Amino acid sequence: MEGKRLGKRINMVRKDRGFTADRLSELCNINATYLWQIEGGTKVPSLPVFINIIPLQGIFS
């Protein structure tokens, strides 16, 4: 999946699930700025971060 599409999907699902970026970043133990960069498509999450985000959001369910 392309970085921008992945970030857009994470952003969409985060909002649908009622998470703020600050709250999701806390739950994933990452900086909120890093999450915003992922959502904006300028960064691709590392595998450990990706593994933390997916179960919290049920992104592919």
Domains (ranges, CATH) in the chain? Answer: 3-56 (1.10.260.40)
Is-contact 44 38, C-beta < 8 A? yes
- Express each pLDDT in 1-59 by its tens digit: 577 998 998 999 999 989 999 999 998 899 999 999 999 999 999 999 988 888 876 65
pLDDT at 22: 95
pLDDT at 2: 74
pLDDT at 59: 57
pLDDT at 52: 86
Q: Which tokens sit at 13?
A: 């699902």
